[in-house]
Amino acid sequence: MGRLFKPFELKSLQLKNRIVMPPMCMYSAQNGIANAFHETHYTTRAMGGAGLIIVEATGVLPQGRISDHCLGLWHDEQGDALARVVERVHAAGAKIGVQLIHAGRKSTVTGGPLHAPSPVRFSEEFPVPEAMTQGEIDEVVEAYRQAALRALKAGFDLVEIHGAHGYLINQFLSPLTNFRLDHYGGSEENRFRLLTEVVRSVRSVWPEALPLSVRISAEEYSEGGLHAEDLARGILGANLKGLGVDLLHVSSGGVVSATVRDFPGYQLEFARIIGTVTGLPVITGGRMTEPIHAEDVLALPGIELVFLGRELLRNPYWPLAAARSLSEEVVWPKQYERAKYR
């Protein structure tokens, strides 16, 4: 058996393969509540053979969503709706996680001010955000804890903290967006403080047996921004592994507007550095479409899982076709067995 379809185990999480559907906003919720679209969308990818599905960025507070039509987990009705998604994905043979987010200065939710570490807007299309007070920071940290509790009640197998793509936690991490003079700004230790507080808060309610992931932007593509070596050093310094982080989901960009030359596998070197230095298992990907490429990626040090985003939007059954391409024998959904490649 090759690497892509080799089972993966992390604490109580047991995956049938190394294929991950990453969080991708669907902009299809009302009041943060999942509906029939989400049930169909995620269950289809589970039927198609993905090992792990991570539900799109889900706001811990109303103003923390990326948009008015993103999912939320700040009240129980939202958790109950996501529980139905979890149940259907499990029935279709996949494991499922949820990504928790506060968008900070990049939120486009109508009404109310934007919040960020410093009053610096993302672009001219966004208003200038308000620098967060200690009370507002504490509210966000507690909101992550409450959202994790609801995720647990909903039956999720994994929780992921979104610390990438220029959203609130990433805004605190980056020297391009954090100009604070208090204990949340300046030094690397201070800039990592919000992330460590959120990790502690989530871990206080998220069982030790269940994995906790953090998504990071390992390259900011801008002078004065963070690079993979900086993130790896910061992760070690913040002792994220000791605080209960089990997995790093490596991506890049989004902190400031930048030109990115993307191509299949363009983030692999960042992921290799992060995995090698931190000793934590890594998920990575980016513009990959070919099964043999995904297979080769998993030979790199520290990379244990591969995400396919746009490719799984185009073809929910990519894993089944990939198995055929790699001459792997996999179990098909019984309803579709008559279509199995021969």
Q: Residue 8 forms beta bridges with which residues?
A: 15
pLDDT at 93: 98
pLDDT digits (tens, 9 = 90+) for 237-285: 999 999 999 999 999 999 999 888 889 999 999 999 999 999 999 999 9
Predicted TM-score (pTM) of this structure: 0.98
pLDDT digits (tens, 9 = 90+) for 16-51: 999 999 999 999 999 999 999 999 999 999 999 999
Report whether pLDDT(78) > 90. Answer: yes
The domains of the chain are located at 19-328
Helix, strand or coil, per DSSP, at residue 111: coil
CB-CB contact of 99 with 162 (8 Å): yes
Instruction: Report how far apart, in Å, the C-alpha atoms of 73 and of each of 39, 101, 152, 218 are.
Output: 16, 10, 11, 27
Alpha carbon 272 to its chain's center: 18
pLDDT digits (tens, 9 = 90+) for 119-138: 999 999 999 999 999 999 99
The single-letter DSSP state of residue 253 is: -
Give the E-state strand segments of 60-165 in sequence order: 95-101, 115-116, 130-131, 158-163
Q: Looking at domain 19-328, what is its CATH homologous superfamily? A: Aldolase class I (3.20.20.70)
